[in-house]
Structure 1
Amino acid sequence: MLKMRAAPRRRRGQSWSRRLWDAVLAIAILGLLLLLAARLDRSETHTLEGRVTVNDGDSLTLDGARIRLRGIDAPEFDQVCKRAGVDYPCGKLSRGALVTLIGGRAVSCEGGERDRYDRLLATCRVGDIELNRAQVEAGWAVAYGAYRSEEEAARRESAGLWSGSFDRPQDWRRTHGGMVETEHVLPGILDWLRSRLGLS
């Protein structure tokens, strides 16, 4: 005689919790897709060109647009460093180095992302000179998400800031109540989400 096996009965709790989990997951995926679409729209590449005002060693203003040189961090304008045991105005010298690089010529900046202070994060050039790279190579800015090998070369040559001792600009800002910034890494959805949620 054949015995018929009874079909397993579904527990009501599992079915309800499974449906709830599926709905939460679907909403999360939809939310991420919407955020990604907004992010792609926001990160459209912008090119600005013209005469600039140099604010400090890593930021410019061009036709009212505030620009931060991507991937580098320069001393704040009022920052002081030490060389041979003597204080010197490294922030002002960093700004002066950028002014000298530009030499009153038109600057071309290209970027697609903004930082938390609504500044365009950009790579800027004067002719064939990439300003971001040149500031790090000269030792008047440190690597901040890019240009690590240029920083190492400047350090070996004791160029600019590396000729003495200094607080990294991000550390100086922390202790002097300046703007808190995050490294300029390649755009990523997780970094963007962290900034939107106030976690960065």
Structure 2
Amino acid sequence: MRVQPKPWIGLSIAIGYLLIILVTTLLILDDPGRFPSVRWALLHQVLPVGIGIVFLVIATSWLGWWRPALFERERKRLPWWLWILPLFFAGGAIFNFVNADRSAIPIEAMLAIAAGTVCIAFAEELAFRGGLLVGLRARFNEWIVWLVSSLVFASAHLLNVAFGDSLPQVLGQVAFAFGMGSVFYVTRRLTGTLFGAMLLHFLWDYAGFFQPSS
């Protein structure tokens, strides 16, 4: 590693990513079009998150943190029964997607939203359970790493207030995001790689876009 991990560096990566999303979204999200559409996916997902990904890739490369960000080092194994969590949510996401009414959604819109969701899953996992986790592990035990990384991930959803959601709605999102962040953390630990958490993140978010509440 070019730079020794420290908690403040990991937190700076996460905050930097969030600031990029906030600023770029407020600047370009004048008329994203209606969901679901290619225009909505490009302006709401691909463009702002893509800029954030550029920042994350540059930061992770400069720090030399790719290996610890993407792969687990030898750590105490989690109990096998915790596989229930990622398998349950993966199964639920697939079930919801298969049973969603997508008859009125053009295939090109579904593909564009899929591309945008890939960007979100990659970026958020690299920021919150990649760089942030690496920084926290330099000083804290795994209980603190789980708690802080999940809290920061959950708190990031407070930005939705700036995007038009009501405060009670956002507080509900924050509480749910803490739970999902915990599941993504467990998934990383169980699979031994951040790619496992990215895949589950993608499945959950993508299926969620086609639920009636969307």
Which of the five TM-score ranges fits, normalised by the shorter chain?
Answer: under 0.3
Say which structure is richer in helix.
2
Q: TM-score of the superposition, structure 2-length normalised?
A: 0.26
Say which structure is richer in strand.
1
Larger relative contact order, structure 1 or 2 (CA cutoff 8 Å, min sep 6): 2
Indicate the structure (1 or 2) with the bigger Cα radius of gyration: 1
